[in-house]
């Protein structure tokens, strides 16, 4: 996030796009409600009538995957009416002329043909967002998990820079990250192109710094992304795989493909607290400790590093994960002997400028938000004040590209996926919480009343959902949440896991798979006798 979560409540206009905030980030939605109570305008852009739309001033039910067209339409209107921020554009950005010329063709009428939002509604949203004093954007995987996810994010950045709604308190572009430490594990350089603190592996000086600190020869070649790793397991060029606390056998799209990849590994190690579907493929399974059984830190979505504290001893037979990794490092002959996670943190901070001012003592009270470059630096509540990381903000020229697989005659329905409030990912944790299981014991797919009637499906009936990759059977629940022609499924339950249906089309830049749009057909299952 460019901003901090508490700042949301002081925004005067909150644009939520591709985020089912009340279910996926309940304590962020609380801030959105507060903003609303303080008089903010709430705009929710989502094809589904999610819970947050009930609080919204405007719900924009755009067509699935049409965000770029909608956002370009908004920017066209903003420029036409001079609602943009010329001072911000001239002082802080570059590439404006190209963007302006490009947006000419995205009249609201043209955008409307693609996104299905009436031109006057595009104009209304554009006016409210652009002319509010302090507008902020919240987005989640509804923006990123597309084969054009990077285009979506860049379009949001264009919109924020065009209107100057970034780089100040309560105003910015805010991805709400989905996991406790999804921010942190990226910050730690567990990515193929960067060392800890986003220092690129291709920079010789940076590489030398790490080579000296770690006493090892390091590669200057960018590594493989997850989808590439899976493909290379199948073609045999990757032979050994180490999976640390993740469950790709259930979580990744095109399950059959992933299972084939995992089974192709010559040697697969899985470190986890449960025998996950992924661990069942492994040659070695190492039992780690849960978060309540070890010390450390997590970084939340607002870049705040906060302490994780050991409350109870690890379950007998298990080891804290940092101990396991130190043991392996020692066996590899690496200098990886640490007496505590704090010692690891200090080494990391000494090598990463954005963390160098942090220590456990300083994190003790309420955590610190990076960048925090020195011991007297208070941390950074919001990013890009006065200047962007690269200097001037670069506008990107983005054209609408349709999702790679849209419904057709053979597969006439559009499947989209997401979360439920009581569960989390592949349910390895929440499925083992009796209270949550009782709250939400089984999956169901949501379809529109109209489609349910057409297919002869009643609440609780079983339907077979078939895509080009696979099929599954799920109970259905007709309602008015999803628009006609579409189907929503959560990805929590193994017994009806939509990942078997999804394709492997990837965003060309981020290599993020499209989890949000896939074509399926739906058949009513015969009643059980």
Partner 1 sequence: MDYRFVKTTCPYCGCGCQMLLEVLDGNLIGTMPHKTAPMNQGKLCIKGWNAHEFVRSPNRLTTPLVRKNGSLQEASWDEALDVTVSRLREIKEKHGGESVAFLSSARCTNEENYLLQKFCRAGFGTNNVDACARL
Which is closer to partner 1, CB of 433 or CB of 525?
433
CA Rg value for the chain = 24
Q: 33, 198, 214, 388: which one contacts partner 1 (CB under 8 A)? A: 214
Q: In this structure, what are the phi and psi dihedrals at residue 238, rounded to the nearest 5 degrees?
A: -105, 130
> Among 67-75, 392-400, 415-423, 475-483, which window interacts with partner 1 (CB under 8 A)?
415-423
Instruction: Choose, by CB under 8 A, the member of 67, 121, 151, 252 that binds partner 1.
Output: 252
- Contacts with partner 1, 163-182, as mask; x by CB under 8 A: -------------xxxxxxx
Q: Cβ of residue 194: shortest distance to partner 1, in angstroms? A: 9
Give the span between the Cα atoms of 206 and 256, in whole angstroms.
40
Candidate segments 114-122, 263-271, 449-457, 460-468, binder of partner 1 by CB under 8 A: 263-271
Which of 37, 54, 101, 284 binds partner 1 (CB under 8 A)? It is: 284
- Report, in Å, the least distance between residue 124 CB and partner 1: 31
Q: Which of 115, 188, 249, 398 binds partner 1 (CB under 8 A)?
A: 188
In whole angstroms, what is the distance from residue 75 CA to residue 100 CA?
9
Which residue's structure tokens are 């986003």?
A: 198
Q: Tokens representing 13? A: 């206009």
Contact assessment for residue 51 and residue 22, using Cβ atoms and an 8 Å cutoff:
yes
Rounded CA separation 154/301 (Å): 19
Neighbours of 74 (CB within 10 A): 32
Restricted to residues 364-393, the positions that interact with partner 1 (CB under 8 A) are 366-367
With contacts defined by CB under 8 A, name the span among 73-81, 127-135, 215-223, 458-466 that binds partner 1: 215-223
Q: Which is nearer to partner 1, 451 or 514 (CB)?
A: 514
Q: Which of 37, 54, 101, 190 binds partner 1 (CB under 8 A)?
A: 190
The encoded tokens of residue 394 equal 């670069």
The contact mask relative to partner 1 for 120-159 (x = CB under 8 A, - = no) is -------------------------x--------------
Apex CA 369: angle with CA 363 and CA 374, to 5°?
A: 75
6 belongs to the binding site for partner 1 (CB under 8 A) = yes
Q: Using CB under 8 A, which residues numbered 309 to 328 contact partner 1?
A: 309-313, 315-319, 321-322, 324-328
Buried (b) or exposed (e) across 330-347, using 16+ Cβ within 10 A?
A: eeeeeebebeebbebbbb
Identify the residue among 121, 123, 187, 490 touching partner 1 (CB under 8 A): 187
**Token reading at 125:** 């949203």
Does 362 interact with partner 1 (rule: CB under 8 A)?
no
Query: How near is the Cβ of 29 to partner 1 at its closest, in Å?
Result: 9
- Of 341 and 357, the one with the shorter C-beta distance to partner 1 is 341
Residue 430 near partner 1 by CB under 8 A:
yes
Query: Are 161 and 153 within 8 A, CB to CB?
Result: no
Stretch that binds partner 1, among 52-60, 94-102, 261-269, 391-399 (CB under 8 A): 261-269
What whole-number distance in Å separates Cα of residue 257 and Cα of residue 211? Answer: 37
What's the CA angle centered on 500, arms 494 and 506, to 5 degrees? 125
Structural element, H or E, at residue 60: strand 58-60
Kindly tell me which residue out of 37, 54, 292, 473 binds partner 1, with binding defined by CB under 8 A. Answer: 292
Segments in 357-467 forming alpha helices (H): 360-363, 434-439, 449-455
Kindly tell me the burial class for residue 39, based on how many C-beta atoms sit within 10 Å of its own C-beta (0-12, 13-18, 19 or more). Answer: exposed
String of b and e for 194-214 (b: at least 16 CB within 10 Å)?
A: bbbbbbebeeeebbeebeeee
Q: Which of 115, 117, 159, 282 binds partner 1 (CB under 8 A)?
A: 282
- Taking the complex as a whole, how short is the minimal distance between the CB of residue 87 and partner 1, in angstroms? 32
Q: Which is nearer to partner 1, 27 or 97 (CB)?
A: 27
Out of 394, 406, 433, 455, the residue judged to bind partner 1 by CB under 8 A? 433
Site for partner 1 in 495-524 (CB under 8 A): 510-513, 515
Residue 110 exposed, middle or buried by CB count within 10 Å (0-12, 13-18, 19+):
middle
Does the footprint of partner 1 cover residue 260 (CB under 8 A)? no
Rounding to the nearest 10 degrees, give the CA dihedral for residues 355, 361, 365, 367. 10
The residue (of 327 and 523) whose beta carbon lies closer to partner 1 is 327
Segment contacting partner 1 (CB under 8 A): 41-49, 87-95, 158-166, 223-231? 223-231
Considering the complex, state which of residue 285 and residue 525 has its C-beta at the smaller distance from partner 1: 285
Q: Does 205 engage in binding with partner 1 (CB under 8 A)?
A: no
Map the footprint of partner 1 across residues 471-490, applying CB under 8 A.
none
Q: Which residues from 83-112 bind partner 1, rule CB under 8 A? A: none
Give the residue with the Cβ less far from partner 1, 306 or 359. 306
Q: How far is CA 215 from the centre of its chain?
A: 35
Instruction: Yes or no: say if 474 and 460 are a contact pair by the CB < 8 Å rule.
Output: no
């Amino acid at each position: 996030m460019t901003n901090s979560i508490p700042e949301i409540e002081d925004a005067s206009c909150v644009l939520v796009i591709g985020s089912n905030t009340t279910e996926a980030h309940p304590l962020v939605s609380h801030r959105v409600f507060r903003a609303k109570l303080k008089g903010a305008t709430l705009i929710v852009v989502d094809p589904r009538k999610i819970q947050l739309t009930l609080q919204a001033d405007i719900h924009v039910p755009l067509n699935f995957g049409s965000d770029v067209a909608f956002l370009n339409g908004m920017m066209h209107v903003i420029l036409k009416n001079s609602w943009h921020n010329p001072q911000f554009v001239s002082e802080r950005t570059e590439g404006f002329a190209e963007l302006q010329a490009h947006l000419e063709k995205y009249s609201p009428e043209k955008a409307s043909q693609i996104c299905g939002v009436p031109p006057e509604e595009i104009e209304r949203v554009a006016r409210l967002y652009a002319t509010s004093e302090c507008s902020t954007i919240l987005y989640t995987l509804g923006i990123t998990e597309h084969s054009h996810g990077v285009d979506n994010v860049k379009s949001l950045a264009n919109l924020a820079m065009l209107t100057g709604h970034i780089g100040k308190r309560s105003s910015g572009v805010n991805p709400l990250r989905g996991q406790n430490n999804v921010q942190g594990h990226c910050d730690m350089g567990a990515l193929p192109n960067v060392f800890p603190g986003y220092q690129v592996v291709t920079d010789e000086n940076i590489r030398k710094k790490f080579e000296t600190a770690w006493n090892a020869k390091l590669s200057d070649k960018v590594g493989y992304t997850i989808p590439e790793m899976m493909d290379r397991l199948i073609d045999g060029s990757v032979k050994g795989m180490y999976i640390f606390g993740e469950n790709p056998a259930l979580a990744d799209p095109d399950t059959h493909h992933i299972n084939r990849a995992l089974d192709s590994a010559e040697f697969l190690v899985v470190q986890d607290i449960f025998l996950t579907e992924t661990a069942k493929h492994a040659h070695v399974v190492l039992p780690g400790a849960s978060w309540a059984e070890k010390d450390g830190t997590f970084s939340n979505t607002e870049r705040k590093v906060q302490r994780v504290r050991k409350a109870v001893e690890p379950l007998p037979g298990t080891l804290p994960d940092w101990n396991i990794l130190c043991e392996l490092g020692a066996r590899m002959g690496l200098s990886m002997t640490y007496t505590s996670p704090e010692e690891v943190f200090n080494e990391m901070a000494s090598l990463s400028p954005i963390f160098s001012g942090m220590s456990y003592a300083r994190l003790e009270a309420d955590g610190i938000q990076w960048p925090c470059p020195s011991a007297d630096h208070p941390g950074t509540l919001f990013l890009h004040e006065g200047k962007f990381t690269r200097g001037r903000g670069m506008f990107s020229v983005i054209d609408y590209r349709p999702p790679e697989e849209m419904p057709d005659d053979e597969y006439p329905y559009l499947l989209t996926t997401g979360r439920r409030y009581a569960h989390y990912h592949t349910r390895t944790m929440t499925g083992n919480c009796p209270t949550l299981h009782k709250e939400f014991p089984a999956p169901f797919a949501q379809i529109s009343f109209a489609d349910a009637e057409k297919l002869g499906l009643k609440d609780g009936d079983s339907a077979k959902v078939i895509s080009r990759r696979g099929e599954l059977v799920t109970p259905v629940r007709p309602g008015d949440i999803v628009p006609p022609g579409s189907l929503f499924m959560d990805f929590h339950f193994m017994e009806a896991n939509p990942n078997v249906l999804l394709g492997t089309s990837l965003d060309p830049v981020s290599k993020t798979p499209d989890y949000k749009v896939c074509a399926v057909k739906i058949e009513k299952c015969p009643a059980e006798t």
